[in-house]
């Protein structure tokens, strides 16, 4: 099974927060692109910034930590349409914190984790040239630094993960109608509008098939306790960020690994407890009878946070079909929403356009039905 992988950032810089010459930025892009590469340190002091940049807009960053950091409050900013920086609150800081869990809240670089950048918050996001790189930027700094985190890898998820705006442009054969090879900010529809159509198509595909071909973040999924393990709700999990078990006093964080507490079997989506795993201390230190496990406060006592999804680029059995469905769904929305006169060559009547629309609709529905019923183990 081809599990999902994030896309690599085009540029990742460490900035000392002082100068603006090239020597004031440390380029750690290559280090961040390989899990086997050299780890690098972030936030040497509270003046430092981490810059994350890509030629396409992105809504997720995934951080693999080597050495945990201990940081003060984080400030996140994006490049706005006025050529400056706008502060925003990322998604993790908006999560409801479990009153029984002292963790939660905004991602803080103390462990492997994910930060989400909601597109509706970054509505005027624009490219900006930083250290000779003109891309979409997000940067973050810490109010204080007790321990600087060391990073192994940073990846991202683009807005348009299943296909690109250029894919849609070519499907609609617009190169003979509009100048250029892709939608831009000045075309009708604009590139940002087509990106929105692609995002809607991705959500529809995921909902219809009950699968995903992009990294999907699942936070705090509750499961019953079973010594034989349990199956995660989302298909195709590939990275477990945390497993916690309620022990009657607090959430006890377990360690991943066959020789530790648990391990993931990606092909089945099962979390298996290792042979060395013991029942929580609640059974002995709190003298709770065995029958209470699974009832009362022990109802759904396992809490899991993880990443799931397939890789559209390496899933040879379904990836190409999903890409085709996504670009046709986006193109169908363009035809339905836009002035057809701006998109069709003079002399092409509405009947042929509607015929194409109906043909795509039939193909999309047939493929989605097949993808929804098709399982790979």
Secondary structure letter of residue 191 according to DSSP = H
Is the pLDDT assigned to residue 100 strictly greater than 70? Answer: no
Is the pLDDT assigned to residue 73 strictly greater than 80? Answer: yes
Average model confidence (pLDDT) for the chain?
85
Secondary structure letter of residue 82 according to DSSP = T
Structural domains of the chain in order of their starting residue, each with its CATH number: 7-158 (2.60.120), 165-213+312-373 (no CATH), 220-228+240-308 (no CATH)
CA-atom Rg of the chain in angstroms = 24
Neighbouring residues of 128: CB distance < 8 A, sequence distance ≥ 6: 79, 83, 134, 135, 137
Structure tokens at 188: 């009708």
Task: Kindly state the average pLDDT of the residues 182-204.
Answer: 93
pLDDT number for residue 161 = 94
Query: Which range has highest mean pLDDT (104-108, 250-254, 271-275, 284-288)?
Result: 250-254
122-131, 271-280, 330-339, 359-368: range with lowest mean pLDDT:
271-280
Per-residue pLDDT reduced to its tens digit, 5-63: 568 999 999 999 887 787 799 999 999 998 776 899 999 999 999 999 999 999 999 99
Do 151 and 42 contact (CB within 8 A), yes or no? yes
Banded model confidence at residue 212, pLDDT cuts 50, 70, 90: very high
* 186-201: burial string, b at 16+ Cβ within 10 Å, e else: ebebebbbbbbbbbeb
Do 12 and 133 contact (CB within 8 A), yes or no? no
Torsion, Cα 214 220 224 227, to 10 degrees, reads 80
Per-residue pLDDT reduced to its tens digit, 233-279: 999 999 999 999 988 888 999 999 998 999 999 989 999 998 655 45
pLDDT number for residue 47 = 94
């Amino acid at each position: 099974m081809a599990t999902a992988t994030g896309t690599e950032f085009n540029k990742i810089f460490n900035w000392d927060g002082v100068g603006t010459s090239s020597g004031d930025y440390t380029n750690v892009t290559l280090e961040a692109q390989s899990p086997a590469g050299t780890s690098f340190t972030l936030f040497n002091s509270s003046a430092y910034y981490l810059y994350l940049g890509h030629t396409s807009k992105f809504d997720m960053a995934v951080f693999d930590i080597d050495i945990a950091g201990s940081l003060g409050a984080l400030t996140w900013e994006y490049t706005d349409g006025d050529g400056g920086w706008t502060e925003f609150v990322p998604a993790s800081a908006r999560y409801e914190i479990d009153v029984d869990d002292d963790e939660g809240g905004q991602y803080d670089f103390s462990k492997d984790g994910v930060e989400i950048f909601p597109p509706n918050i970054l509505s005027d996001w624009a490219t900006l040239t930083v250290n000779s790189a003109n891309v979409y930027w997000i940067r973050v700094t810490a109010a204080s630094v007790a321990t600087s985190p060391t990073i192994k890898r940073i990846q991202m998820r683009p807005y348009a993960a299943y296909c690109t705006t250029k894919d849609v442009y070519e499907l609609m054969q617009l190169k003979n109608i509009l100048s250029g090879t892709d939608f831009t900010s000045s075309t009708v529809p604009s590139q940002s509008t087509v990106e929105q159509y692609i995002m809607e198509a991705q959500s529809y595909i995921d909902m219809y098939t009950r699968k995903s071909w992009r990294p999907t973040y699942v936070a705090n999924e509750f499961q019953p306790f079973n010594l034989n393990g349990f199956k995660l709700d989302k298909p195709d999990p590939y990275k477990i960020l945390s497993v916690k078990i309620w022990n009657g006093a607090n959430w006890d964080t377990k360690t991943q690994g066959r020789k530790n507490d648990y391990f993931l079997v990606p092909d089945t989506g099962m979390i298996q407890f290792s042979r060395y795993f013991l029942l929580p201390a609640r059974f002995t230190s709190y003298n709770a009878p065995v029958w209470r496990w699974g009832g009362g406060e022990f109802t759904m006592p396992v809490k899991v946070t993880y990443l799931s999804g397939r890789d559209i680029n390496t899933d040879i059995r379904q990836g190409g079909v999903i890409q085709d469905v996504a670009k046709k769904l986006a193109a169908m929305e363009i035809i339905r929403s836009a002035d057809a006169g701006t998109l069709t060559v003079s002399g092409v009547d509405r009947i042929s356009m509607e015929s194409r629309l109906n043909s795509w609709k039939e193909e999309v529905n047939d493929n989605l039905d097949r993808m929804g019923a098709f399982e790979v183990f």
